Structure 1
């Protein structure tokens, strides 16, 4: 009987160890993130497009040709292509035409016939693009090829009104607007997605631990050594040879949950706005900090010196300065114990009433003293 109890106890112990090992391998649901949220597939990205065009139909708010001669040159060139010749000695005074730059983002895998949004921005001195229409404009990529054609009515969210006396009221930016679905895709961007022997995931935030965890989680789901971390950014996965299976394969991969590694201990300080962001991994070693602020106030109270009667003197203004020095928080000191966490650090600083500027000074002093276990980044 005793032998059976011992065997049963050993069997339960082995099961408990097995369950513990499985639980250690399963990511924490509270911290786990999907692969699609941590990384992007290499080569699957949008491409910027740009073009030059004309917006017509403005209500007298177009470019002034004396200061924007390229608008007149563009209009003459367009009319020449339509069979209309403008004499060289004629310089049209345009008020309803504006030269614009047209930009757009071509999504990955966009096919001919699909429509994309475009942004229209004035290049000259047009006061407003409200009510205008963009004429047919080719949009080119970085290789100089035309990938889309834009045309349509410009939607402007701003408003500009001016008076004859030169006064002007402007709301938002009336010299720029958008055309929803204003461009039609004409060319496909070449992609190696269907022919590459492996798929590569590039992490949004480089981290060796996250890359290792991602490769481990992918291998656990696929049941083999299919993924490997190349560096702190890239995780490569062997892809199916059949291109028709890659979409379903990638759908499985991007929904795998991964426990990302903890970010490096870092304190970020914005020197322009005074914003201070302290990471969760920041620790402070034993240190004593004294906090106090010294205020110097100088006030000018000039006095008038009036000469006596019949003295033939002049009335003069005599300067009088009053200087006052005050020191708040003198003698206040707080002590950090070893391994103080972020919460303790914030509480200690708040108790002495430190402003953001004072907090920056305290953190910089702790870093110089070697008590701040974090990277201090000033942007």
Structure 2
């Protein structure tokens, strides 16, 4: 018996794939998408890509893969409570960071600057390129041949790219639309002016919850914060006070875990209650109602949203801009910048990348190929390439 809500995405009503496949007797279409993503090369590379702390600084810090798995678990929890399609929520969550560069957001900033004359670089659009063009394992097509709903979720999980009037929306109103929006291989128009499914929205809010909780945990492990530093910090402060009152004499790492799990649980519970109220208030009855609701339906209550913004500001000031974080960030930026300039001047790229960057390719094609190649690198591979090309190995400290 199907216990999905009427507004959930239904794999039996999917808008399909660009390339037809036979039916599976054991898996839904969204389950097949999830499995294709997990078995992709880009997904495996996430284990050696930086989250906040470089992968080699400590075995217990998060990387892009562990972050992605945590987001996936939270997205499934939210989807289950709202009676959505858990597999679609998981597929979007598992793929949301496939377009990230080595060295975290530092690499993305550099590539965006270097690609300014060629349409810029956007990690979300890069994830679309990965799953539609760059993965090349299948005999009959490039990409993973994902369903329309999963592609839509990857593209729009953070909101529409266009307004109803066709103008760039949200952050794209200032930055401009990402390059490649008009050239996405899909079974139908991805409707960039509408909102994504509730499953994709669940993945997006799970990303925020995961960031908040695990960045606090990693910062505590790294010694950048102590629990007492969180007193008075929105969202986290009251939980810290509660934990310290209950468990003052237990080990700090146990106290930290209690804070982290309470922060995750209460954030998710707030999202579920708020979303249920939003669905009822908007009289949302179908997946298409979700797309045309005019706003994001999965989110925090106003009070929690304000507190969450305060927590993010605290983390930005105390963790993301800490000298021990910024030193490696700047080194990562210099590595990516040097690699980009070298490849552009010499066209010295290996394998299929070198073939695509041949002497007859235009500057635009060359630049996009160089960006694709660098974005797919793991941190260690980027460092090795830098050492090969410049006979020097950067030190991250």
Query: Which is helix-richer, 1 or 2?
Result: 2
Larger Rg: 1
Regarding TM over 0.5, the answer is no
| Length-normalised TM-score, structure 1 | 0.21
